[in-house]
Amino acid sequence: MPNRRAKFEWITLALILACYAVWGLSVFWLSTMSLWLAIPVAGASIALHSSLTHEAIHGHPFRRAWHNAALMFPALTLCVPYMRFRDSHLAHHTDARLTDPYDDPESNYLDPAVWERLAPLLRWVLAFNNTLAGRLLIGPLVGQIAWMIADARAIRAGDRAALSGWLWHLPALALALALVAAAPMPLWAYLVAAYIGLAILKIRTFLEHQAHERARARTVIIEDRGPLAFLFLNNNLHVVHHMHPRVPWYRLPQLYRANPERYLGCNGGYRYRSYGEVFRRYFFQAKDPVAHPLWRRP
């Protein structure tokens, strides 16, 4: 008889359990000792949980998609539905559409014609959002509003997948809020922690993709090995992930170190040495315009 037992990755599963443990300790225990320490610790665990959710979407630690979905079910970020993240992120992995203002759900660019029609205040907000400081301060709010507006339009147009994704989010959100309500951490403090977690993730996505004629040259390599690389589960080596989307997070550095010339040749040398370099260069300066610089309407 063949072995039908579901295979899984011990490393990823252990990290998921550790992530929940740190989150629980920060919300239930550390918040009684030092709320101002508990908030950033909870924020970091929320960011890690989101990175682990990304791994689950790509088939880790279990083979079966519903096992992974169940494992990551609690909506610790409060505002990111698992099924919507799954659908939009897998659509994003069509590399030929990367940075497309319409067909890439994770694009930070706008159609230049749309940009020209925006009110001056909104253009200022989006331009500030294109600096790293702006992405940290207002990026989670700007991204969430844009996402919810787009999904509301899709639902009105009859998109059942979008509606289902938000409906399934309700029990996941209720579970997270019930846990927070049972904890000594105040709700306002948890909301701050969730915002911090989302802001941390905005560091990763800030220059993850650039406008370029060649699809492979649109995806970055950041050769960082510090705490941010861990929280992002090595997705700073982003072109490696896009070229091997089924490879687990802990194997990405090995793939890159084995042949960096291959990946840098593919992405045209779109590389940064560390997140420190990114902060120094772009904290108050926009790397890209909001309007897609190469956009030509089909």
d(CA 230, CA 250): 10
pLDDT for res 298:
60
Nearest by Cα to 57 from 218, 241, 263: 241
Confidence of residue 295 (pLDDT cuts 50, 70, 90): confident
Q: What angle do CA 95, 100, 104 make, to 5 degrees?
A: 65
What's the mean pLDDT in 223-235?
Answer: 97
How many CB atoms sit inside 10 A of residue 68's CB? 25
Phi-psi region of 234 (alpha: psi -120 to 50; beta: other; left: phi over 0): left
How many CB atoms sit inside 10 A of residue 240's CB? 26
**Do 248 and 60 contact (CB within 8 A), yes or no?**
yes
Residue-wise pLDDT tens digits, 246-258: 999 999 999 999 9
d(CA 74, CA 81): 10
pLDDT for res 5:
43
**Do 111 and 121 contact (CB within 8 A), yes or no?**
no
Residue-wise pLDDT tens digits, 87-139: 999 999 999 999 999 999 999 999 999 999 999 999 999 999 999 999 999 99
Count of CA atoms in the C-beta half-sphere (13 A) of 160: 0
- Helix axes 82-92 and 35-57, enclosed angle (nearest 10): 60
Residue-wise pLDDT tens digits, 44-82: 999 999 999 999 999 999 999 999 999 999 999 999 999
**Do 206 and 278 contact (CB within 8 A), yes or no?**
yes
